Every structure is written in structure tokens, then in C-alpha cells.
Amino acid sequence: MTAGRLPRSLHPLAWWGWAIGLAVAASLTTNPLLLALILAVVWLVVVARRSDSPWARAFRLYVILGIVIVVVRIFWHVLVGLKFGTIKVLPLPEVALPSWADGINLFGTIYLEGWIGAALQGAKLGILVIAIGGANALANPKRLLRSMPHALHEVGTAVVVSVSVAPQLAESVQRVLRARLLRGQSGRGLRAVPQVALPVLQDTLDRSLMLASAMESRGYGSRREASSGAAGRLAIGGSTLIGLLAIAFGMYGVLDPTRTPGWSGVPVLVLGMLLAFGGMALGGREIRVTRYRRDPWRWAETVTVLAGVAAATGAVLSQQATPALMVMPLQPLAAPGLPILATVGVLVAALPAFVTPPTPKVRAR
């Protein structure tokens, strides 16, 4: 076994890059064969490389959410969707809405073509969600926050605090609801709301304060001695903010060149990026935190991201070369074909299941 195969957790950004690639591929197609292949690849990699942690167990929830999306999409198709096709499945009476909702008809005969089209639209979105859930299962969200640029350190920590306090909030609600029974109240109804909310809020506030005081006494936010001072901090914050606004404005110019003057496109975008990243870099320099066991970026991470890129690229190329193969042929209904480039891309995305180092087992206690 070479050093590259020693069990370790992959850099969280690698998994996110991989998952976003697959999500892009899924968003470009309604071809059921290709969608099924993407789902299979996500499933395979998650099963092969997830750890036994709370966030990994949450993958199930994303799968359920994906199924719910498909069901909801079909429900809306039955309720208000545009019914098209020739093969009748379910003859439902059509209900026309009054004139203020002109053009919308409830129910109506369901045709196989329309029904399949709706199901595949739902599947496309559902599989996209499952791919993101895969990234969440493979990479600890808190570790992802640790990889954020230093300038966003404070935002990241605020998120970490809320992530830590949220489960305690649920526990505290449960505890107070049980305590209501001890005072002979059922804990239901509108009158119970303040009886539950007040102790829970006080409890949460106490805990947040205790956490904040612990962080304070452990040196959180102690900055470099030669700090840039209040004026410096204002300049850094200002340049980051103006930069971000300029990026948004420039992006608008690039995407819709017909309605905006030419200078507002690329030049503003570039200027905004310079300002924003400059501000972040300066702000990051001011914070002197270091990282314990920084996640390394090795060839396995690169391969994983490239595998995701391959899936997205294959889908984009197929859409340009053979657009007809990327969609389910509905009018007339026919068997879907296989777009070669997209298929190869998605198959490449299965590589991380085999080439990445295995996930370390938590030592038994």
C-alpha cells in the first residue's frame, strides 16, 4: 500500500467540486438513462467513502427530499400542468377557474407523455439535490467552514456557533415541553406558547452566552499586535463591500450587454474582483489564527474534482453536439438514446469511489 492509499478524509472542497459537477450534468438533461446513471454514481461513491458520522447519516434525508420533489412535481402536473400527448392514462374532468385566473385549468385528462415529462423534470431537480446531499455526507460541513478564507473567519465562526446551538435548542424545547406536563399542563394550544417559549429562549440565551464567554477566555478574536487600527479596518471593510457591489453590477453588464453601456461589463467586473479580493486578503492578514491539521490537497483531491468537471463537461459537449439525445423524446414518445460524451463523463465521475484513499474508521473505545 502506498502512502496515497493510507486511509484519510479527503479535503471537503474536493467533494463539493465533484458534487457540483454532477449536479450541473443532472441539470442539463431529462434523459432518464443519463439521470439514472448520475444517481447510481452518486450513490456508489457515497456508500464507498462516507464515514459513520451524524452528517453522513443525513444522506438518507436528502434521498427522501429528492423523492418528495418528484412526487410534488407530478402532483402539480396533475393539478395545474399543461396536459399534452396522445396516450390517455387517467381521464379527469377539467375545471375552469373564474375569469380572474384566466388560462389556468385544474385537472383535465392526464396523458402519458405529459406525465413522463413532469416526472423527469422532477427527477432532474431531485437528483441535483441528492448530489449536493452526497457532498454533505462525504465532507463535514464544519470542516468546510474551516477551509474558508481568513477574512470570512468571523462569519464562519458565527455559523459554527449557530450550528452548535441549534441542536441544543431542539433538546431544550423537548425538555421544557416535558416539564409542562409536570405542572399539569398539556403543552398544547396557543396559551402554551409563552410557557414553552420563555424558558427555551432564556435557556438558549444562557447557553450562547456561556459559549461566547468560553470562546472569549480561550483567545477567540485576539488579533495580531500590530493591528491596522480602526481606520484601517474601515478601509478594508469598505473596499470589500464596494468590490462585491461592483462584481454584481459588472455581472449584470456581462450577462445583458444590450441594455447597459459597454464599460459596465468586463471592466467593472474586474475592478470589483480586485477590490473584493484585495480587501479579503488584507483582512485575512490581520487575523493570526492558525489551523491544526490543515486538510492537505493531494492528487486524490485533484482527481476527484476533475471527475466532477468531466461529468459537467461531457454534459455540456453532448448538449452542443447532440442536443436531441439529452432530452427524453416525448412527441412522439420513443426510447431515449445515450449521448456518448455525457455518459463517459458521468462514468468518469465514479472514479473517486475507487481511486481516493479509504475513509478512516473511528477507533473503537
Among 93, 100, 255, 291, binds another protein (CB under 8 A): 291
Q: Which is nearer to another protein, 219 or 332 (CB)?
A: 219
- In the complex, the smallest distance separating the C-beta of residue 262 from another protein, rounded to whole angstroms, is 47
Q: At what angle do helices 59-80 and 112-138 cross, to 10 degrees?
A: 160
Contact characters 145-174, another protein, x per CB under 8 A: ---------------xx--x----------
How far, in Å, CA of 182 to CA of 192, rounded? Answer: 14
Identified binder of another protein from the candidate list 289, 316, 344, 347, rule CB under 8 A:
289
Contact pattern for another protein over residues 7 through 46, marking x by CB under 8 A:
----------------------------------------
Return the range that interacts with another protein (CB under 8 A); candidates 64-72, 244-252, 272-280, 291-299.
291-299
Distances (CA, A) of 323 to 28, 76, 336: 10, 27, 12
Of the pair 259, 293, the CB lying nearest another protein is at: 293
Cα–Cα distance, 48 to 38 (Å, whole number): 15
Q: Tell which one of 142, 150, 233, 298 touches another protein (CB under 8 A).
A: 142
Residue position matching grid coordinates 422532477: 122
Q: Closest CB to another protein among 2 and 217?
A: 217
Dist CA 288 CA 221 (whole Å) = 9
What is the amino acid identity at position 208? S
What is the Cα–Cα distance from 118 to 121, expressed in whole angstroms?
Answer: 5
Quote the least distance from Cβ 13 to another protein, whole Å.
Answer: 18
What is the per-residue DSSP string for 179-204?
Answer: HHHHTT--S-STTHHHHHHHHHHHHH
Q: Which three cell numbers stand for residue 182?
A: 409536570
x/- track of binding to another protein for residues 293-322 (CB under 8 A): xx----------------------------
The Cα–Cα gap between 197 and 180 comes to: 12
Q: How far is the CB of 202 from another protein (least distance, A)?
A: 7
Rounded CA separation 137/130 (Å): 10
Residues 272/243, Cβ–Cβ less than 8 Å: yes
- Residue 107 and residue 92 in contact, taking contact as beta carbons nearer than 8 Å: yes
Nearer to another protein, 163 or 234 (CB): 163
Residue 232 CB, shortest distance to another protein, in Å, is: 19
Rounded Cα–Cα distance for residues 319 and 342 (Å)? 8
Looking at the Cβ atoms of 203 and 333, the one nearer to another protein is 203
Q: Which three cell numbers stand for residue 25?
A: 450534468
Q: Could you tell me the smallest distance in angstroms from the CB atom of residue 191 to another protein? A: 11
Residues 53-82 that bind another protein (CB under 8 A): 54
Using CB under 8 A, which residues numbered 170 to 229 contact another protein? 175-176, 178-186, 194-196, 198-199, 202-203, 207, 210-222, 224
Cβ distance to another protein smaller for residue 172 or 304: 172
Residue with cell string 481516493 = 356
- Within 8 A by CB and 6+ apart from 82, the residues are 114
Instruction: Between 231 and 362, name the residue whose CB sits nearer to another protein.
Output: 362
Alpha helices in 106-227 (DSSP H): 112-138, 141-146, 153-182, 192-217
156 torsion bin: left (phi>0), alpha (psi -120 to 50), beta (else): alpha
Q: How far is the CB of 357 from another protein (least distance, A)?
A: 17
Residues in binding contact with another protein, number by CB under 8 A? 49
Q: List interacting residues with another protein (CB under 8 A).
A: 54, 140, 142, 160-161, 164, 175-176, 178-186, 194-196, 198-199, 202-203, 207, 210-222, 224, 288-294, 362-363, 365
